Structure 1
Amino acid sequence: MKLTVVGGGSTYTPELIDGFARLRDTLPVEELVLVDPAADRLELVGGLARRIFARQGHPGRITTTADLDAGVAGADAVLLQLRVGGQAARQQDETWPLECGCVGQETTGAGGLAKALRTVPVVLDIAERVRRANPDAWIIDFTNPVGIVTRALLQAGHRAVGLCNVAIGFQRKFAALLDVAPHEVHLDHVGLNHLTWETGVRLGGPEGEDVLPRLLAEHGDRIAGDLHLPRPLLDRLGVVPSYYLRYYYAHDQVVEELREGPSRAARVAAMERELLTMYGDPELAEKPALLAQRGGAFYSEAAVDLAAALLGGGGSPYQVVNTLNRGTLPFLPDDAVIEVQAAVGANGAVPLPVAPLDPLYAGLVANVTAYEELALDAALRGGRERVFEALLAHPLIGQYAYAETLTDQLIAHNREHLAWA
C-alpha cells in the first residue's frame, strides 16, 4: 500500500506519522511519500518521520520529494494538508477583516473566503494529476476550508472525502468523561464543516442509549469552558456546538478578543519555528509534546481510520466525514457537502439518516451552504462581483458596505494568488 501526503513538510506531519506507526495493523503502509515544495522543511520533517518509524519498528519506507507527479504515481490514497500562502497569508486572513468589525479567522467569514479562493484552484490541479496517475486513488482532504474544498473535488468528479478532527476530538473527550473506550461513543454529529452540533451522544452505536443529557448535567461546566461559551447557553440548546459556533454565537466578543492579539497565526508561526528546530535534532524520534498545542489533535487516528475503510483494509464502519448531502438534510441541495456520520467503505461514504434538524440550526446551515456555493463559484470563475456576492451572503458579514470594503481588501491582500485579479 502506498500513501502520499501533499503538504508533507507541514509541522502537523509527525502527528500523522505517529499514527501510521502505532496503527500499522489497521493501515499497513508499505510506502509513504511526503510531497512539499519547501525543501528545507521537508528535510527536517522527513528525517523525523523516518526516526519515528524506526523507533516504533515500522517496516514501511518513507521518501520525500518536491515532484508532485512522482510523489502521487501509483498512490492508493493521497492526503491533502496544504496551506497556500503559508502562515503569512493566514496572518492576513485573521487581521484585515477586523478593520470592519468582522471576525478574522482562517476558515470562516472573509478570511475563510480568502483561503478558499487561494486553495481551490491549487487543490483541483493536484487532484487532476492524481487522477492521471491513478484514477482509482482516493483523495482525503484535510485542507481548510474542508467543506468548500471537498465540494470542489466532488463536483469535478474526484474520488474524495473530506476530514476534520472536531468530531473525533469530541468523541475522545466524551469517552473520557464517561469512562468508556472511544469506540463505544457514537456521535449524532450534524451540520457543515466547522458549523456542527452534537445532537446526541450514544453508547454502542447509532441505536445506542443517548447519554448527552447526562453529559450536560454532570459535565456541562467543563464542556462549556472548553468551548468558551456560557453554561446556560448549552443548557438552553440541549446540544453541544462545535468551538467554531462561537464565531456566530459570540461574534462581537470574539472580535474584541482578536483585536487585543496576538493573533492565532502569530502564535502558530512562532510555535512552528520552535517545532522545526526540534525536528532537526537527530536524537528526536517521537512527536514532541509541543505539537499538541499546534492543533489537529487526533488527526492521525481519524486519517488512519478513514484511509483504512476506503482502501478496504478495516477501519470503523461509521465515521464522521464531509461528503455529498444526497437528501440527508432535505432542505439542502443534493450536491451540498455536509459533515455527518457516514457508512464508509471501498465505495466511499454514505451518510447515515439524520433526525429532522431544529430550525434554530437548520436556518444557519442553509445560510452558510448558500454562501459556500457562492464561494466555490468565486474560486472557480473569479471576479470581483462574485467575491462581493459571497461576502454579502455570509451571515457573519451581511451588510453591503462591509462586503464592498472586504472585497477590495481581500483582493488587495491576495492578488498574487488570484489568477483573475
Structure 2
Amino acid sequence: MKKYNIVIVGGGSTFTPGFLKSFCRMKEEFPINKLVLFDINAERQKTIGEFGKILFEELYPEADFTYTTDIEKTYTESDFVFMQMRVGGYKMRESDEKTPLSMGMIGQETVGAGGMAYGLRSTKEMIKAVYDIRRYAPDAWILNYSNPAAIVAEALRREFPNDKKILNICDQPENVVRSCSRLLSCDYKNLDPVYFGLNHYGWFTHIYDKTNGDDLLSEIKELIKEKGFLPQDAEQRDPSWLDTYGMVQPMMEDFPDYLPNTYNQYYLYPEYKVEHLNPNYTRANEVIDGREKRVFEECKTVIKAGTIKGYVNIHEDAHAEFMIEVAMSIAYNENNRYIVIVENNGAINNLPDDAMVEVAAVLGSNGPRPMRVGNIPLFQKGLLENQLACEKLLIDAYFEESYEKALQAFTLNRLINDAKKARKILDALIEENKGYWPEFKKAE
C-alpha cells in the first residue's frame, strides 16, 4: 500500500494534537511516509511540534515527522495538504466577535460582519498558500477547511478556475450526522444524508438508514422534540457549543420540514442571538481560557516527561477522523459519499450554476461528483440567494478593491440588513484589519 506525504498548515492549532493522534491510530488504514507541520508562528508551533515528535517516536516511528516554517521544505513532494489557517489568530477573532456586538449586531467568527472580516483575511492568505503549494507540489490535493469556507471557496473558484485538486469542505454537516447517530444509538457510518445549502447555512432533507433504505428523519425529529439535541462528543464540548446544538430544537419547532445546520440559528434569530451573546466574553475568550490552556498544558506535560505514556488526554475531534477519511476516499478511489462544497452546475436546480454550494457528493481520485437535489423550496431558496449575493459581492470587493462593493455586501447580509449600520461596521473593521484586507478604494 502506498505511503503518502502529508502537510498540515496551521501546525500550531489546538486541533493539531488530536489530528496527529488520529493519524497514528489510523496508520494501518492510511499509511504515511512523512508528515510536516507548517505555521508562520514558530513559537506557537514549537510546543505542538515537540509533542508530535514524542507521539510519533512512540506510536508511529516508521513515519517521518517534522515541523517547520520553511515553505519549500513544507510542500515539496507533498500528496495531501490539510489547510486549517486562522489568519490573525485569537486577537483578530476577538475583533470579529466583539466589534459587531458592540454595535448591536451578531459577533461570530464565520457569519455576519465578523465572518466577512475573517473571510477577507483568509482569502488573501489562502490564495498565497495555493500559489506556494503549486510551486512545489503541482499535483497535491489541497483539502481546505479554513473558515469561512464559503467565502474562501468563492475566491479560490475565481483565482484557480482550472485547479481540480482543491476541495473545500466543512465538518459541521458531518458533526450533525454524528449527533443524530447519538440520538438514534447507531453507528454514524450507517447514516446516509441528503443535504443542500451554502457552507454553515443548509438543511438535511433526508437521513437514510444504509442497511434498509428507511428515511429516519421523522424519528430524528421526534427524538429532538423529546430530548433536545447534543453534539456526539458533548462531554468534550465547551458550553457555547452545547448552546449552539441546543438551538436545533427551537429551529425545528418553527420550521419542521428539514433538519437544519446548527449555524442556521444566526440567520433565523439574529435579534435573539444578539441579546444572548456576551459582548465582553465571546467564544474566542472561552477557547483561550479553555481549550487553548488545556491542549498546550497537556503538550508541555508530555514534553517535560519525554513520553506520552500515561499523559495523553488530548481529545481526538471528529473533524480529524473525518478529514483523514476524506483523503483516503480520494487516495484509494473509494467513492464514498461526503458533504462537500462544489460549484453548483445544476446540483441545486434553482440556484445559479456558479454558486459554491454544499451538497452530498461521491468522492474519489477524480474529485467530487455531486448528488443532485433538484429544486429547493422558496423559503430556503430566498435565504440562500441573499447570502450568496452577499458572498459574491464581498469577493468582488476583494478583487476590485472596491469600497462600494464591500458596502453592498455588508448591507445585504441578513445579520446587518441596514446600510447605515453596514457602513459603520465596515469602516470599523477596515481600521481593525489594516494589513490583512485589500486597500478598499471609494469611487471618485
TM-score normalised over the length of structure 1: 0.92
Deviations 1:8-50 (A, max 9, x none): 1111101211221122233211111100121122111112223
Counterpart mapping for 1:136-175 below 5 A:
136-155=139-158, 156-157=160-161, 158=163, 159-175=165-181
Secondary structure of 1:34's match? strand
Counterpart residue number, 2:11 = 8
Counterpart residue number, 1:210 = 215
Q: List alignment gaps of at least 5 residues for structure 2.
A: 231-241
Select 2:76's aligned residue among 73, 76, 88: 73
Do the aligned partners of residues 224 and 378 (structure 1) sit closer, same or farther apart at CA in structure 2, a change above 3 Å counting? same
Q: List alignment gaps of at least 5 residues for structure 1.
A: none
1:62 alignment partner AA = F
Offset at residue 203 of structure 1 (A):
0.6
Matches of 1:34 and 1:105, distance apart in 2: 28
Matches of 1:380 and 1:191, distance apart in 2: 25
Do the aligned partners of residues 233 and 194 (structure 1) sit closer, same or farther apart at CA in structure 2, a change above 3 Å counting? closer
Matches of 1:128 and 1:67, distance apart in 2: 15
Do the aligned partners of residues 14 and 34 (structure 1) sit closer, same or farther apart at CA in structure 2, a change above 3 Å counting? same
Counterpart residue number, 1:396 = 415
Greater mean alpha carbon deviation, residues 223-232 or residues 333-342: 223-232
Matches of 1:203 and 1:63, distance apart in 2: 42
Cα RMSD (Å): 2.1
Deviations 1:307-334 (A, max 9, x none): 11222364x6111111211111122222
Whether 2:295 is the aligned partner of 1:275: answer yes
Offset at residue 224 of structure 1 (A):
4.5
Whether 2:310 is the aligned partner of 1:305: answer no
Deviations 1:176-224 (A, max 9, x none): 322322211011121111001122110107x921111011113434345
Counterpart residue number, 2:308 = 285
2:75 alignment partner AA = V
Whether 2:134 is the aligned partner of 1:128: answer no
Identity of aligned residues (%): 29
Whether 2:90 is the aligned partner of 1:87: answer yes
Matches of 2:269 and 2:195, distance apart in 1: 22
Secondary structure of 2:37's match? strand
CA contact (8 A) 1:384 1:407 kept: no
Counterpart residue number, 1:228 = 246
Counterpart residue number, 1:364 = 383
Do the aligned partners of residues 285 and 325 (structure 1) sit closer, same or farther apart at CA in structure 2, a change above 3 Å counting? farther
1:195 alignment partner AA = Y
Matches of 1:256 and 1:81, distance apart in 2: 31
Do the aligned partners of residues 233 and 119 (structure 1) sit closer, same or farther apart at CA in structure 2, a change above 3 Å counting? closer
Matches of 1:201 and 1:109, distance apart in 2: 29
Offset at residue 394 of structure 1 (A):
0.9
Equivalences, count:
415
Offset at residue 238 of structure 1 (A):
2.8
Matches of 1:230 and 1:170, distance apart in 2: 10
Matches of 1:266 and 1:241, distance apart in 2: 27
Counterpart residue number, 1:321 = 340
2:398 alignment partner AA = A
Matches of 1:291 and 1:90, distance apart in 2: 23
Counterpart residue number, 1:116 = 119
Secondary structure of 1:335's match? coil
CA contact (8 A) 2:10 2:37 kept: yes
Do the aligned partners of residues 331 and 356 (structure 1) sit closer, same or farther apart at CA in structure 2, a change above 3 Å counting? closer
Matches of 1:335 and 1:47, distance apart in 2: 44
Whether 2:431 is the aligned partner of 1:407: answer no
Greater RCO, CA 8 A, separation 6+ = 1
Counterpart residue number, 1:180 = 186
Matches of 1:61 and 1:21, distance apart in 2: 12
Greater mean alpha carbon deviation, residues 53-62 or residues 11-20: 53-62
